[in-house]
Structure 1
Amino acid sequence: MSAELDALRAPTGFLDHESPAVRAFVDKALAKAGLTDAPAGPEGDIAKAVALYYAVRDGIPYEVYGADLSHRGLSASGVLEHGLGFCVHKSILYAAAVRAVGVPSRLYYGDVRNHLASPRLRELVGGDVFRFHSLAVVHLDGRWVKATPVFNKMLCKLYGITPLDFDGRSDSLYHPFDSDGRRHMEFLHVHGEFDDVPYDLVVDGIKTAHPRLFASAHTTTSGSLVAEATSAV
């Protein structure tokens, strides 16, 4: 088990936590949370994982449009370079960030039904089922917990969704209802958990399921979720 967990702390081409960009992101988040000199052990790991969760959730805008799904674009450092992304990008960044502080991580993919998509996004996606929704799974205090640092607080407010919190001890998944009690998201199918980004599976799966969402081979069409939410008010 120890060897398996050690492997899940290691950098990869996608989870490139040894890169200067990811290191700087992690150092800044821990410093902001006052955890630069946090003691080793389960409590310190949990505190760091929670701080990094909020750094990814609110520090990287959630955006489906103009997203880069190239190999570079789906590396943690590439996500930071581009400065935005959707669930796939933000989960990769979080999985890399926690590995940087010694916390094992994996990536989780599943299909979900999202009842609160904007009309334009629903049209581009081809309905309300989104393929290969992603989150991270982290090993803290002897157990695996799910973490979804995806929708940032500002976007949640615009769409009337309660932001997802994370305490490092229980799963953080999409709430099934929004802040007004309306159904928001439900999981339909699990593709599995992976030690690294299964690039072809994920990217080909998204492109096959949602071809109209793409403006080019690896870039989604332009737009703004914030603008769509504002115009709907």
Structure 2
Amino acid sequence: MDFHAFLQPTDVIDSTEPSIVAAAAAIAGDARDDEAVARRCFEWVRDEVRHSVDAGLAVVTCTASDVLKHRVGFCYAKSHLLAALLRARGIPAALCYQRLAHDDASAGFFLHGLVAIHLAHHGWYRVDPRGDKPGIHSGFTPPIEVLPYKPRLSGEQDIPECFPDALACVVSTLRSFPTAAEVRANLPDYDGAAES
């Protein structure tokens, strides 16, 4: 498989931006193998970058460097940062998504952002850097995924594709609404149509 696209910087996953490169090196520390580096990057983003809703902050971030600067973001934005940190350390990283229901009545759906990391001994491995809170736990135990959300209702799904860049609907949402409350009220959905 050609991993070139999953190692390249993009406008959103700005992995060559100096602050990202420096942060990735500091977080990786003395870790050398891809699994140890990936674990450190994942745990740092999960634990040190606050989720916008949990934190109750109005700021909306999108690019990895903005998430790093403000230390806050929605699941999508935190995923952009994790992917950028991994790419800065030469580890292929993709964005992936789940389609989840707003409630048990399946009254509307929204995308939830994840990261797929390509590990030498395990292949693609999905992690959720959203951030833990009571009832929500994510972890890093390859090859076993520890994801807080599992599609269970009609219409929910794990979207199987690994994307080299953020979906256009995600970027548009994060750039169209100036406050976190507005983003939360307008979370993007995905109809399966190809987009990038």
Q: Distance in 2 between matches of 1:174 and 1:129?
A: 20
Aligned-partner residue type, residue 162 of structure 2: E
The structure 1 residue matched to 2:28, chosen from 30, 34, 46, is: 30
- Match of residue 165 from structure 1: 139
Q: Which has the higher strand share?
A: 2
Following superposition, the deviation at residue 51 of structure 1 comes to: 0.8
Following superposition, the deviation at residue 15 of structure 1 comes to: 1.1
The worse-fitting range, judged by mean Cα deviation, of 98-107 and 190-199 is 190-199
Q: Is the 8 A contact 1:47 1:168 kept in 2?
A: no
1:66 aligns with 2:65: no
**CA 1:48–1:148 in structure 2 vs 1: closer, same or farther (change >3 Å)?**
same
Q: Which has the higher helix share?
A: 1
**CA 1:168–1:97 in structure 2 vs 1: closer, same or farther (change >3 Å)?**
farther
**CA 1:167–1:114 in structure 2 vs 1: closer, same or farther (change >3 Å)?**
farther
Following superposition, the deviation at residue 67 of structure 1 comes to: 4.0
1:134 aligns with 2:123: no
Secondary structure at the aligned position of 1:146 is classed as strand
- Structure 2: where are the runs of 5+ without partners? 183-196
The correspondence of residues 105-144 of structure 1 with structure 2, limited to 5 A, is 105-113=93-101, 131-141=110-120, 143-144=123-124
- Match of residue 219 from structure 1: 179
Secondary structure at the aligned position of 1:132 is classed as strand
Cα RMSD over matched residues? 2.8
Q: Give CA deviations for 1:27-84 in whole Å, capped at 9, x if unaligned.
A: 22122xx42xx2xxxxx1011001111010001011235242xxxx311101112220
The structure 1 residue matched to 2:164, chosen from 195, 200, 206, is: 195
Q: Give CA deviations for 1:127-163 in whole Å, capped at 9, x if unaligned.
A: 87551110001111251111111124xxx1xxx2252
Runs of 4+ in 1 over 4 A off after TM superposition: 127-130
**CA 1:129–1:58 in structure 2 vs 1: closer, same or farther (change >3 Å)?**
farther
Instruction: Give the TM-score, by structure 2 length.
Output: 0.76
Secondary structure at the aligned position of 1:29 is classed as helix
Q: Distance in 1 between matches of 2:152 and 2:78?
A: 19
1:145 aligns with 2:150: no
Q: Distance in 2 between matches of 1:194 and 1:7?
A: 9
- Match of residue 193 from structure 2: none
The correspondence of residues 42-53 of structure 1 with structure 2, limited to 5 A, is 44-53=33-42
% identical equivalent positions: 28
Following superposition, the deviation at residue 7 of structure 1 comes to: 2.5
The structure 1 residue matched to 2:14, chosen from 9, 13, 16, is: 16
1:56 aligns with 2:48: no
Please say which structure displays the higher CA radius of gyration.
1
- Match of residue 83 from structure 1: 71
Instruction: Give the TM-score, by structure 1 length.
Output: 0.65
Q: Distance in 1 between matches of 2:126 and 2:158?
A: 13
Following superposition, the deviation at residue 110 of structure 1 comes to: 2.5
Aligned-partner residue type, residue 151 of structure 1: G
Q: Is the 8 A contact 1:147 1:173 kept in 2?
A: yes
